[in-house]
Structure 1
Amino acid sequence: MPPNTPLLDKVASPADTRGFNASELKQLADELRAEMIDVVSQTGGHFGAGLGVVELTVALHHVYQTPDDILIWDVGHQAYPHKILTGRRDRIRTLRQGGGLSGFTKRSESEYDPFGAAHAATSISAALGFCAARDAKGRDNRVVAVIGDGSMSAGMAYEAMNNACETTGQLTVILNDNDMSIAPPVGGMSAYMARLVSGGGYQSLRHLGKSMARVLPKPLQEAARKAEEYARGMVTGGTFFEELGFYYVGPIDGHDMDALVPILKNAREIKDRPVLVHVVTQKGKGYAPAESAADKLHAVVKFDVVTGQQAKSTAPAPPQYTKVFAQELIKHARLDPKIVAINAAMPSGTGLDLFGKEFPERTFDVGIAEQHAVTFAAGLAADGMKPFCAIYSTFLQRGYDQVVHDVAIQRLPVRFAMDRAGLVGADGPTHAGSFDIGFMGSLPGMILMAPADEAELAHAVATAVAIDDRPSAFRYPRGEGTGVAIPDLAAPLEIGKGRIVREGTTVAILSLGTRLAESLKAAELLGARGFSVTVADARFAKPLDIELLLRLAREHEALVTVEEGSMGGFGAFVLQALAEHGALDRGLKVRTLVLPDIFQDHDKPEIMYAQAGLDAEGIVRGALNAMGVDNVSAAGAGRRA
């Protein structure tokens, strides 16, 4: 049953909140939190971060004249309450579903989303861009960036703050300090802020200041309060931000509406230099199961509101690819003390939380700092260690310069485990691993693997362990494997060698990665239409198995490549090789099936792959197109089995 929300029901846009008094704002926050809990229990999605910023969201939209004033949310995990308040409540239960609302801020979705965000630490840089544009146009609107303390481990945030002193107009940065990003944050800055806010010295200072103020005459109490604020800034790190050119305010309780509103109003009026408001919040605030969970229920599937229990399938399921990677790496690490693992603030997302439990001294979480993660791994490799750098494909893009200059040029044996390769369903285009085949495969000396199932992933891990003279990478998707048996200890593959999994004579399907199962289904469908089909698993995008490729070209009329990646990837590598060896001169018909040249919106993965033409039916269409056969009248065409 939906929650009772009489005040929220009156809010069609943020403007409707601007006449509310303090009591009404608090009630609105309570109703907004209840609404968000009910929504995410039905849709799943990012949860804990949004619960933590309910009061902040209400206060920001109450104080600032959005959308004329620019409000930028870093990452977007915490933007669900913002969406509900900004005219999207009627669609909020379509969150992360096909044709529904995005799980992140999105410019095409609302004028209240001036900047799309799904990767961390971009908000301050974008806000500075809006400030410069505003100043160039002679406008006087305000600009606000909300950034979490977890994002403060990313160097981009400091690059932007260093540049912020150049702005001549109003800019407010809200540092949302909840001592959490997805996992507890790491690094000196996060620990520094948490330690100072909670430490005995700071608490003693506040208690002493309040005690002294109570015995002073009233005219001196205000002076004492200001002195306490100044000292608080000195103790809690305000001087650090002051040195960067910011006017520091805080720390303040991010759930105290009586404090938030007047402080934000004051910050709004400061125009001579940028302002940083340090807000302390609690991730998962107001929902007991989230408050007690280790990750504050950062992301959830559908759940029961009363118990907090998330929906689980009763049927046994194959293991997740992420877990298979972690378990295989653990097996090899037991035998080889040089194996170490690195992640960038995603221990559970990459499976390295499992590795870390067994090998805590050989596990490194560097925070949201992919560039640093890559070069850190390069340093380990340069001194004889065997680093596995486990980063989502989409996040590795942020460290690509380091992959090129610090790893590939020096030919260092860093092993890249690229999780979430291909399409990722509800997380949409910002999290899809669409481009790694192209950008990793283009690097001289790189070995690039794409296992077809969880057993092949085990072999890929073993292969990476054995490569000690150059960099390597292997990609694997989000979600479950196929249920095949996994060896007790997989053996390394022969570098650059694929395999034939089905023999035929007319059409050859050369698959890279986990579309192999759909390729085999396509072969069955084509066989029912009278075509004799070979299916091969490339295993390697680089180096290519030239011998296998030329055999397929020589013995078949048509060759179809299949990959879960963008144009310029595996299919392009195949065409290059065929052209270099003259195979295209003999009339071979070739089709390269790739992800479409668009950023696909979120939906169920199976629907997205069908839209991309990378399901069995799409592969059949590609093969028939290559053969010059109409899809409807295909029976009877081509050489028979």
Structure 2
Amino acid sequence: MANPDAAAYPLLMRINDPADLRRLPRHELKPLADQLRAYVLDSVSRTGGHLSSNLGTVELTVALHYVFNTPADQLVWDVGHQTYPHKILTGRRDRMPTLRQLGGLSGFPMRSESPYDTFGTAHSSTSISAALGMAMAAKHKGEDTHAVAVIGDGALTAGMAFEALNNAGVCDCNLLVILNDNDMSISPPVGALNRYLAQLLSGNFYARAKNVGKQVLKAAPPLFELAKRLEQHAKGMVVPGTMFEQFGFNYIGPIDGHDLESLIPTLENIRQLKGPQFLHVVTKKGQGYKLAEADPVAYHGPGKFDPRVGLVKPATPGKPTFTQVFGQWLCDMAAHDPRLVGITPAMREGSGMVEFEQRFPKRYYDVGIAEQHAVTFAAGLATQGLKPVVAIYSTFLQRAYDQLIHDVALQNLPVVFALDRAGLVGADGATHAGAYDIPFLRCIPNMAIACPADEAECRGLLSTAFAQEHPVAVRYPRGAGVGASVATDLQPLPYGKGEVRRQAQRPAAGRRIAILAFGTLLYPALEAAERLNAAVVNMRWVKPLDTALLLQVAAEHDALVTVEEGAIMGGAGSAVAEALAAAGVAKPLLQLGLPDRFIEHGDPAKLLALQGLDAPGIAKAIEARFPSLVEQAQAALKLVA
């Protein structure tokens, strides 16, 4: 893939690191920002990726690298999907054509990728905690550096952000928290007056005057208290910062996050101040690209597109995704059962709940980026006879593990967890992979785990899960499956029961190899089995495991193979091994799944193939482990033929 036309970006092509940026005269920063925005748009249109959020942080990124001495001064970006301008300005401009591809640039900050990526971020609301740690470390080492956390208004809804604010407000360190506000309406409006107020409040004159006044008035305590209250109330009248001031921060803003003439002087003033500072900037998602400004959700994470035309709907709709199957089931079950309520931690579109919100607005709850609260909130609803369905990505359920155990499972409450993005997720990489839900769920008492093999089973198993009176998780991958026809009824599949999908063809002598498939890897397992003449079992449930079926298959075959798109350690294969051991059955067992390492970003099919989880890889692993059995099974197949 070719680079965007270098001739169109003469200023940007001169910036190979932030030191080059800091050498520019200030009047060239605005044209640089314009070129940077155009370069981001051009690059993302060629590769796909996050767009709206990155268009919104261009000026802020330029200003931060211009004012602060990065990487000695540390920037932490939260959630991290808005760091394309940061990557471009920090020596990775020419690698943008590899964005989110195997072996290429990550879509998120990665410490292993650049010294300017000071902290890996992709799950939200971690930036203030990390930056505070960096700021305190600098103080311990006697270094006069700054740590800056850039956090969005959505990420600020999470409890972890407020825990960090609470801690930071009593720490004496050079920490700056920047609220990148691209959603809340600001009053008074952003403009010249606010620019003046922000620069005044961030200036040394204001800070010195405030401190002198405190020293003078301390001799008269009643006057000191009165002055302090007047200052707080007066400041609260012109800026919405009273809450952050109460945390112990010096609040500055709001200011226009796209106005470099406001950003740079304000940041320069802040850099001279000591102690925790809080800067409130207002930005617009999709800034500078009218189509993204008008619909920032659609342009949040587009695939490849022509920026002159914008996103175009395909002429013929493709196969429904698992997310769409879930969304339709949720609406159908809600129409059937008034007890159903749907909960999402700020992932309405990603989890397929748009139609549900439209049709059942009083039964829809978006709790913000607050996974812990989402799970315990569901538990509270369940205690009162409602049937909550928590739609959550597998990787984000990790953030609510204690609530899952203590608030749901321990009390055996009937909460359904619809785990989207189970398994590998492709371009988003290790931070978003749903690799660990089987191991961390199956060890919890009262919890059940279903693994649908296709779209039809996904709907059926969701109905099964909803019918239970205890917690059940249904895990399904990102994207579409094999295109199985999905019924329109709400008929459940049998609870805790699998099925034999292929019998080995053989003469009278014994059956050789059986593959036990969990989830969508059933289909590559079936393909491999055709080559090997192996039996295939669609297990459907990791917990409760269909032990009766397992022991029957074990008795009839010489070796067993488990296949799952999840971590091998503690996964479904481990459940099979444990069940066999408990029954006193000794049988050769090969476990195939995700290895004990983080899997990088890239095309999902390529990633599965690299892990040996496509049909050729499964067949190759079985042939390597059980060569004589494969030979006998294939010989038997020839006899049948």
1:261-290, CA deviations, whole angstroms, 9 ceiling, x for partnerless residues? Answer: 01001111111x200000000110000100
Aligned to 1:215: none
Q: Structure 2 matches for 1:388-537, cutoff 5 A?
A: 388-467=389-468, 469-504=469-504, 505-527=511-533, 533-537=534-538
CA-based RMSD: 2.4
Gaps (5+ residues) in structure 1?
A: 180-193, 211-222, 528-532
Residue 626 of structure 1 deviates from its aligned partner by: 3.7
Residue 486 of structure 1 deviates from its aligned partner by: 1.1
Instruction: Return the match for 1:278 from 261, 277, 280.
Output: 280
Aligned to 1:112: 116
Aligned to 2:226: none
Q: Structure 2 matches for 1:346-385, cutoff 5 A?
A: 346-385=347-386
CA contact 1:343–1:391 (8 Å) conserved in 2: yes
CA contact 1:94–1:101 (8 Å) conserved in 2: yes
CA contact 1:449–1:473 (8 Å) conserved in 2: yes
Flag the 1:145–1:632 CA change in 2: closer, same or farther, 3 A.
Answer: farther
The one-letter code of the counterpart of 2:576 is: V
The one-letter code of the counterpart of 1:395 is: F
Aligned to 2:165: 161
Residue 583 of structure 1 deviates from its aligned partner by: 1.1
Aligned to 2:215: none
CA contact 2:190–2:255 (8 Å) conserved in 1: no
The CA distance in 1 between the partners of 2:319 and 2:191, in whole Å, is 56
CA contact 2:414–2:472 (8 Å) conserved in 1: yes
Q: Structure 2 matches for 1:208-247, cutoff 5 A?
A: 231=234, 233-247=236-250
Residue 314 of structure 1 deviates from its aligned partner by: 4.7
The CA distance in 2 between the partners of 1:575 and 1:91, in whole Å, is 45
Aligned to 1:597: 596
The CA distance in 1 between the partners of 2:258 and 2:311, in whole Å, is 26
CA contact 1:284–1:296 (8 Å) conserved in 2: no
Aligned to 1:219: none
1:399-435, CA deviations, whole angstroms, 9 ceiling, x for partnerless residues? Answer: 1110000000000001000000000110100000000
Flag the 1:208–1:163 CA change in 2: closer, same or farther, 3 A.
Answer: closer
1:224-250, CA deviations, whole angstroms, 9 ceiling, x for partnerless residues? Answer: xxx999845444321111110101100
Gaps (5+ residues) in structure 2?
A: 197-208, 210-229, 505-510
1:592-633, CA deviations, whole angstroms, 9 ceiling, x for partnerless residues? Answer: 111011101111111111111111112112322342449999
Task: Tell me the SS of whatever aligns to 2:417.
Answer: strand
1:524-568, CA deviations, whole angstroms, 9 ceiling, x for partnerless residues? Answer: 1113xxxxx111111100000011000111000110001111021
Q: Structure 2 matches for 1:10-29, cutoff 5 A?
A: 10-29=14-33
Residue 485 of structure 1 deviates from its aligned partner by: 1.2
1:38-70, CA deviations, whole angstroms, 9 ceiling, x for partnerless residues? Answer: 000001100101100100000000000001110
The CA distance in 2 between the partners of 1:209 and 1:100, in whole Å, is 40
Aligned to 2:223: none
Task: Tell me the SS of whatever aligns to 1:322.
Answer: helix
Aligned to 1:185: none
Query: Are residue 143 (structure 1) and residue 147 (structure 2) matched?
Result: yes
Range that drifts further, 236-245 or 391-400: 236-245
The CA distance in 1 between the partners of 2:343 and 2:252, in whole Å, is 35
Residue 166 of structure 1 deviates from its aligned partner by: 3.5
Residue 22 of structure 1 deviates from its aligned partner by: 2.7
Query: Are residue 266 (structure 1) and residue 269 (structure 2) matched?
Result: yes
The CA distance in 2 between the partners of 1:204 and 1:266, in whole Å, is 19
Residue 34 of structure 1 deviates from its aligned partner by: 0.6
Residue 19 of structure 1 deviates from its aligned partner by: 2.4
1:446-479, CA deviations, whole angstroms, 9 ceiling, x for partnerless residues? Answer: 1110100000001011112211x21111000000
The one-letter code of the counterpart of 1:400 is: Y
1:73-114, CA deviations, whole angstroms, 9 ceiling, x for partnerless residues? Answer: 011111000000000011011000111000000000000001
- Following superposition, which runs of at least 4 residues in structure 1 exceed 6 angstroms of deviation? 204-210, 227-230, 630-634, 637-640
Flag the 1:203–1:317 CA change in 2: closer, same or farther, 3 A.
Answer: closer
Task: Tell me the SS of whatever aligns to 2:566.
Answer: coil
Query: Are residue 250 (structure 1) and residue 253 (structure 2) matched?
Result: yes
CA contact 2:195–2:255 (8 Å) conserved in 1: no
Residue 21 of structure 1 deviates from its aligned partner by: 2.6
Aligned to 2:39: 35
Report how many aligned residue pairs link the two structures. 599
Q: Alignment identity in percent?
A: 53
Residue 294 of structure 1 deviates from its aligned partner by: 5.0
Residue 169 of structure 1 deviates from its aligned partner by: 2.1
Flag the 1:542–1:9 CA change in 2: closer, same or farther, 3 A.
Answer: same
Flag the 1:382–1:602 CA change in 2: closer, same or farther, 3 A.
Answer: same
The CA distance in 2 between the partners of 1:204 and 1:480, in whole Å, is 44
Task: Tell me the SS of whatever aligns to 2:69.
Answer: coil
The one-letter code of the counterpart of 1:484 is: A
The one-letter code of the counterpart of 1:146 is: V
CA contact 1:589–1:626 (8 Å) conserved in 2: no
Flag the 1:41–1:632 CA change in 2: closer, same or farther, 3 A.
Answer: farther
Range that drifts further, 52-61 or 233-242: 233-242
CA contact 1:590–1:626 (8 Å) conserved in 2: no
The CA distance in 2 between the partners of 1:381 and 1:491, in whole Å, is 23
CA contact 2:563–2:573 (8 Å) conserved in 1: yes
Task: Tell me the SS of whatever aligns to 1:328.
Answer: helix
The CA distance in 2 between the partners of 1:107 and 1:629, in whole Å, is 46
The CA distance in 2 between the partners of 1:455 and 1:474, in whole Å, is 13
CA contact 1:206–1:228 (8 Å) conserved in 2: no
CA contact 1:589–1:627 (8 Å) conserved in 2: no
Flag the 1:229–1:548 CA change in 2: closer, same or farther, 3 A.
Answer: same
